[in-house]
Amino acid sequence: MKPNQKLDLPKKAQIQDMFDSISIEYDFLNRLMTFGNDVKWRKKIYTIAKSYNPKNILDIATGTADIALEMSKIEGSNIIGLDISEKMLEVGRRKVSKKNLSDKITLISGDAENIDFKNEEFDLVTIGFGVRNFQDLEKGLKESHRVLNQGGKLIVLETSVPENSIIKFFYFLFSKSFIPFMGSIFSKDKTAYQYLQKSAEKFPSGKKFVSVLKKCGFTNVMVKPQMLGATSIYIANKKD
C-alpha cells in the first residue's frame, strides 16, 4: 500500500518523501513506539549475524544506520548501508562519524529494487523495517538474493501480526490508537504514522512472508517471533 492513496505519485517516491520528512524524529519515535524493544531486536540480529562470521555486509533500507552500527561490532566486518532517503542517511552519517566508524561503515543512496552491486558481493544482507516499504517486494528480495554469495544469509526484521486471536485483538486495539496518536503528537508528518500502522496490518507476515522468501529463491527460512509476534526476525539462506 502507498502512504497516500489519493496522491498520484508512485509508492517509492512517496516513501522517500515520507522518510525524508520524519528523519529527525525517527529514532526517538522508534524507541517510544516499541518501548525500547527495537534496540533489543537489533542486538538479537547482531548475535545471529555474528555466528555466521560475515565480512561484507549490506544493510538495505539502513535509514539512520542502527543495524549497520550493530553489525560494525562484528570483527573484520565491512558494512555498506543503502537507502533511498538522503535525509535518513544524513542522520545515520552523523551517528557513524560520532562513533568514529567511518572506516567500517559507508552509507550510500540507492534503491533496494535496483541494487548497484555485482552478483554475489556480500556474505550477509540485513533489512530492518524496510521490506514492507518496498514498492515491489519480490523485486527487492530477488535483488538481495542476487547480491548474496552462495551460502550467504539474509536477516529481515519486520513488523508482523500476532497469530493468536486474543493477542491479535489487543495488538490491533493498541496499534490502531497508540501509534497514530504518538505520531500526531511528536511528528510533523501525521499521515506517516497512520501509514506505518496500516502497512504493518496489510503486510504478508509470518508464514506468508516465508512463502514470498522461498519464491524469491531463499532456502531454510526460519522465523523468530518477537514481542508476542508483533515483530518477527526472518533468517534465510542463499543456496542454489
Ligand X SMILES: C[S@@+](CC[C@H](N)C(=O)[O-])C[C@H]1O[C@@H](n2cnc3c(N)ncnc32)[C@H](O)[C@@H]1O
Closer of 26 and 171 to ligand X (Cβ) = 26
Interface with ligand X in residues 127-146 (CB under 6 A): 128-130, 133-134
Joined grid coordinates for residue 157: 526484521
Of 33, 58, 61, 74, the one binding ligand X by CB under 6 A: 61
Query: Is residue 92 at the binding interface for ligand X, with CB under 6 A as the rule?
Result: no
Closer of 55 and 95 to ligand X (Cβ) = 95
Query: Is residue 111 at the binding interface for ligand X, with CB under 6 A as the rule?
Result: yes
> Which residues are within 8 A (CB) of 123 and not within 5 positions of it... i.e. 6 or more apart?
52, 54, 55, 56, 57, 148, 149, 152, 153
Of 63, 152, 162, 183, the one binding ligand X by CB under 6 A: 63
Nearest to 232 by CA among 211, 207, 197: 207
- Centre a 10 Å sphere on the Cβ of residue 51 and count the other Cβ atoms it contains: 10
Alpha-carbon distance of 136 to 146, in angstroms, equals 16
Query: Is residue 70 at the binding interface for ligand X, with CB under 6 A as the rule?
Result: no
**Which range binds ligand X by CB under 6 A, 49-57, 94-102, 110-118, 176-184?**
110-118
Alpha-carbon distance of 146 to 111, in angstroms, equals 14
The answer to whether 72 and 79 have CB atoms below 8 angstroms apart is yes
Closer of 54 and 130 to ligand X (Cβ) = 130
Closer of 140 and 164 to ligand X (Cβ) = 140
Element (H, E) at 232: strand 231-238
Query: Is residue 19 at the binding interface for ligand X, with CB under 6 A as the rule?
Result: yes
The answer to whether 203 and 140 have CB atoms below 8 angstroms apart is no
Of 62, 144, 187, 237, the one binding ligand X by CB under 6 A: 62
**Which range binds ligand X by CB under 6 A, 43-51, 81-89, 162-170, 215-223?**
81-89
Closer of 23 and 56 to ligand X (Cβ) = 23
Query: Is residue 3 at the binding interface for ligand X, with CB under 6 A as the rule?
Result: no
Q: Parallel, antiparallel, or unpaired: how do β-strands 231-238 and 218-226 relate?
A: antiparallel
Of 15, 221, 223, 230, the one binding ligand X by CB under 6 A: 15
Which parts of this chain interact with ligand X (CB under 6 A)?
Answer: 12, 15, 19, 30, 61-63, 66-67, 82-85, 88, 111-113, 128-130, 133-134
